[in-house]
Structure 1
Amino acid sequence: MARQRPGAGPSTPATVALDRARVDYVRHPYHHDPSAPSYGLEAAEALGVDPARVFKTLLVDTGRGLAVGIVPVDRQLDLKALAAALGAKSVTMADPAAAERSTGYVVGGISPLGQKRALPTVLDETAYDLPTVFVSGGRRGFDIELRPADLAAVTRAVRARIGRA
């Protein structure tokens, strides 16, 4: 995998963050269908990738602020496991408007990379079994492929089992 050059797909705060960090990644734009019931599963199908390799970015409210959980699109976020990984008593799903304000992205295109404010982040440990993973590139219809260790390094994510079937 080689570092992408500008022009090989859209430039977003996520790609800018990766370029600044000198991380190798691949841009994957695809046609987005606004009526798709699941943005993540739509991305997996459009890109011809196993859904276990495509990760969704979910924001939660810890009661002390927002945090990020990154899990495969074919799994659900385990709120209790995420709370434990964050050292919080409990977490709830963040209000979508609050998630958009905090990250600078729209729901369905929230990237764990290049957010307006760095938030505590947890990456599901299943990512580390894969050579590369796909995450939102910062807009609907655009994913980024990169190594899990690079994703964790740029987002300062901790590793924990936070996904469930």
Structure 2
Amino acid sequence: MSTGGEVLVGLAIAVGLVGVVLPILPGTLLVLGAIGVWAVVENTGTGWAVFGAAAVLLVISGVVKYTWPGRRMRDAGVPKRSIVIGALVGIVGFFVIPVIGLLIGFLLGTYLSEAQRHRSHREAWRATVHATKAVGLSVLVELLGALLAAAVWLGAVLVS
């Protein structure tokens, strides 16, 4: 692949990494897709090995992303319903207040759901903080997987 092509793949990976943190785009899929395009164009054993390693890293981070934070929320007593309501209000918030509305909406939706459930500001806020930490942990786990996949690709490009 030409240097220009590798730069384009690198840019697509960078956009994917941003998409992991700001869930506007399917970040993980963009990272894997960009590395997949590179592997198809390269069509070498190394290219396919890099693609396979990236896929494994992204699958592992995806599994951890959904299991580890969920367990922490269950341990803290935060029901899935509160997270779903927080996510839905967050999506609405994203369109009302671009970018930061997602966080504000998530916090508001989770808090209102928990306030209705607990009937106490203190307990509702405690549950909202636990839910927010769990979602943040989920994003960090996904970002770590995407960064490791990007690093594998970058290492292969620099070595070849």
TM above 0.5, yes or no, is no
Normalised by the length of structure 1, the TM-score is 0.28
Superposition TM-score, scaled by structure 2 size: 0.28
Larger radius of gyration: 2
Question: Quick check: which one's strand share is greater?
Answer: 1
Write 1 or 2 for the structure with the bigger share of helix.
2
